[in-house]
Amino acid sequence: MKKNGIFRIIDANLNRTLEGLRIIEEIVRFILQHKRLTNRLKGIRHKVKDAIEKLSIGEQRLLIARDARRDVGVSVYLEDEFLRSDLRDILKVNFKRVEESLRVLEEFTKLVKPHSGFIFKKLRFEIYSLEKQLLTSYFTPSVLHITRLSGLYVIFDQSVRQDRTYSQIAQEVIGGGARILQLREKELSDREVIKIGRKIRDLTRVHKALFIVNNRMDLCLALDADGVHLGQDDIPVGLARAILGREKIIGISTHNLRQAIKAQHDGADYISVGPIFQTHIKPNLKPIGVNFIRKMKDKIKIPFFAIGGINEGNLKSVLRAGAKGIAVISAVMHAENIGQATKTLVKLIK
């Protein structure tokens, strides 16, 4: 009975290990499309199987010990087992599953064959290394957000629209279908901005929208925003990345091709380009026109948002020029119905 229980533990944790490795391998193979790492994961799976075979237990003996129907752990579920927000979440959960299962195999296989735990310990530390590599280089939050950096990007500033609170504006914009919001506020105190920003942060979390803070990295960190948007006179992108790490998105405003190429080279996650048309928000900047977007497409590989004087009337010409993302202020903030104006722009972009 006692030995049968040990075999059940080994069988269950062997299955957990192989299942977790397979999930990680599928993400690396089909999402990342990384041949070397795929082969490495496949090699680890085979090493686990080989290590079990060397115990001389035999696959049949493990199958005989298995009793899934009466396993008391089958019906035990925690609430967060049903929740996954993105690929990073799936990777983190399955790395932990593999690491924990290898630790169990390391301990219990010693009862079958002395010194057999060493191989599982070695494999566990290899998984720790692989986890760090994938989660800090390939599946950082900012990298995962890249796929969401398109569509309608709404910048709101209460100095433009004072008959609504920030929370009301955010609710209407999100209700209209926008999934990227930037808080641009230069007149209020930091304490007031933090109070406002927390409400917006809560709304964007619930509705899975990105929340960007203009200019201020300290406020970005304080509010746990998804990222910061910098101007040409703000802190350089490289220094911002050193402070924020890969956890946060970094965007930068550009007004010509030289600035756009430099921002891309410096490591920005996205850029805004403009003003495309004349705008009273930045009246001193000369419009660069929709033809500039056509020039951008071949030179810039990171996501970019066309900005400046874009509205329902001229949006189609911007989209025809090749823009995949549009950033607006007045087109939404000056609208009589903010939610409807947002919905119309989102529909036109789609």
Q: CA 311 to CA 190: how far, in whole Å?
A: 31
Taking residue 112's Cβ as centre, other Cβ atoms within 10 Å add up to: 16
* Catalytic choice (184, 199, 241, 262): 184
Structural domain boundaries enclosing 223: 147-349
Q: CA 61 to CA 54: how far, in whole Å?
A: 14
Domain count within the chain: 2
Residues of the chain with confidence (pLDDT) below 70: 1-2, 58-63, 65, 68-85, 141-147, 158-161
Determine the pLDDT at residue 55.
86
**For residue 303, with 0-12 CB atoms within 10 Å meaning exposed, 13-18 middle and 19 or more buried, which class applies?**
buried
- Select from 139, 159, 191 the last residue of a domain: 139
| Dihedral sign for Cα atoms in the order 229, 231, 236, 239 | negative
Would residue 343 show up in a list of annotated catalytic residues for this protein?
no
Q: Are 159 and 273 members of one domain? A: yes
Contacts of 294 (CB under 8 A, 6+ apart): 321, 322
Q: Are 132 and 25 members of one domain? A: yes
Q: Are 71 and 160 members of one domain? A: no
Determine the pLDDT at residue 125.
97
* pTM for this prediction: 0.67
pLDDT tens digits, one per residue of 116-163: 899 999 999 999 999 999 988 777 766 666 668 899 999 987 666 677
Q: Are 201 and 79 members of one domain? A: no
pLDDT tens digits, one per residue of 278-330: 988 777 889 999 999 998 888 898 899 999 999 999 999 999 999 989 999 99
Query: Which CATH number characterizes residue 238's domain?
Result: 3.20.20.70
Q: What is the CA radius of gyration of the chain?
A: 26
Using alpha carbons only, what angle is made at residue 85 by residues 43 and 263, rounded to the nearest 5 degrees? 85
Q: CA 330 to CA 216: how far, in whole Å?
A: 22
Would residue 253 show up in a list of annotated catalytic residues for this protein?
yes
Query: Which CATH number characterizes residue 16's domain?
Result: 1.20.1260
Determine the pLDDT at residue 40.
96
* Catalytic choice (116, 150, 253, 272): 253
Reference 136, options 247, 31, 225, 224; nearest CA is 247
User: Identity (one letter) of the amino acid at 36?
Assistant: R
Would residue 195 show up in a list of annotated catalytic residues for this protein?
no
Q: Are 297 and 195 members of one domain? A: yes
Q: CA 73 to CA 78: how far, in whole Å?
A: 11
Determine the pLDDT at residue 298.
82
* Catalytic choice (164, 282, 295, 324): 282
Proportion of the chain in helix, strand, coil states, percent, rounded to 5:
60, 10, 30
Cis peptide upstream of residue 236 (ω within 30 degrees of 0): no
**Token pair for residue 343?**
């919905």
